[in-house]
Amino acid sequence: MKKIANFTLLLLFAALLPRCKDNDPIIPPPPPPPCLAGLDSVTIPAVNQDTINDFSWCVFSWIPFYPERYKYSFPSFNPNNAAEIAFVRWDRQENEWHLCILDFCSGELRIITDQAFEYVDWGKKDWIIFIGRDHQVWKVQSNGEGLTRLTNGGENSNCIWNADGNAIVYVRTNAPGYCFMLNENGTILDTIEKMQARPAFDWSPDDKILTLDGDANTYGFGYYDMALDTIVFVEEVELKNYIHQMEWSKDYTEIFWTGVWKIARTNIHTSLKMEIINLPDGVNNRRYIGFTISPDFKHIVTCREDWKQLNECDVEIRTNLYIMNIDGMDERKILIPE
């Protein structure tokens, strides 16, 4: 009787188990989170010493010295993979510029092209645009294929993709100095006259482009609203905090920005500002030149200069990429292989 009872329990347990029919769809496991475990092997904690460089005793202009071979600038996250960034590397020994990609998971560095100079933006369709050494807008796939020049005139800067990766805005810095919109193949779609002589930084899905705003007496930032064809002013900042980069927040209600000695975020509706990194008054030994936000909005990668005064007129400058949490905590220097 005991054996029969045990057998009955086994049948009941089996009946309660989910059954898989031959025609049932196979549900794959969820994809793993972005591989950022590799950060421990490709980064070291940042050394932040609050010091003041004073060149007031220098009779002539101060002189910079660069002890490191490479200078890194214009980082841009892969919008489809939070474990990859693209950036420009300047080799001072060879006087060469390269567009590179670093994989945080493997620590691998890939050189994509030697045409890049500045203003890198990685698009949703896996095309990377940049300003080349000829001051033209170029694009290339992340595997190095399809290198194409998209413009053929003027001196250009601030090229950015829209959210879908199928349109580009860039700024011509010389006459006539307008902001142009291209399709992904380089055909001009429009000329944005309201953006004349204004840089373009980031482009939201509802067609708002972050830009600078001001006149002879004020200096600040805001956005160009494409639907309303108008510039919306958000915040005024001090001239010493010249803005190098801006990006939209995850919900597009805030603007992240760098102002040389600080990184902050400002609400576009209330102008409420939250400082992520802010050096104490007078401290000027490190500068945050630009940044990029990861697609999962968990990390910031920034281009940082560290200044060390050697004497009255000489200063040693090291330029590297650093990564930190979105709130500015756990700042770390990225160790980029040669």
Rounded Cα distance, 301 and 104, in Å: 12
Q: What is the mean pLDDT of residues 113-142?
A: 97
pLDDT-based confidence at residue 10 (cuts at 50, 70, 90): very low
- On the question of pLDDT at 80 being above 50, the answer is yes
Q: What are phi and psi of 5, to 5 degrees?
A: -65, -45
Q: Tally Cβ neighbours within 10 Å of residue 52.
A: 11
| Higher pLDDT pick, 184 / 31 | 184
Condensed to tens digits (0 to 9), the pLDDT of residues 220-229 reads 999 999 999 9
The CATH T-level fold of domain 34-334 is: Methylamine Dehydrogenase; Chain H (2.130.10)
Q: What is the mean pLDDT of residues 185-212?
A: 94
Q: What is the mean pLDDT of residues 166-173?
A: 94
Rounded Cα distance, 123 and 291, in Å: 16
Omega before residue 18 within 30° of 0, cis: no
Residues in the chain, total:
338
Strand blocks (E) in 66-216: 70-78, 81-91, 96-103, 109-113, 116-122, 127-132, 137-141, 148-149, 156-161, 167-172, 179-183, 188-192, 208-214
Distance of CA 136 to the CA centre of its chain: 20
Residue 36 identity (one-letter amino acid): L
- On the question of pLDDT at 218 being above 60, the answer is yes
Report pTM.
0.87
- On the question of pLDDT at 23 being above 80, the answer is no
Looking at residue 59, what is its pLDDT?
87
pLDDT-based confidence at residue 177 (cuts at 50, 70, 90): confident
Query: Residue for token digits 């413009």?
Result: 151
pLDDT > 70 fraction of the chain, expressed in percent and rounded: 87
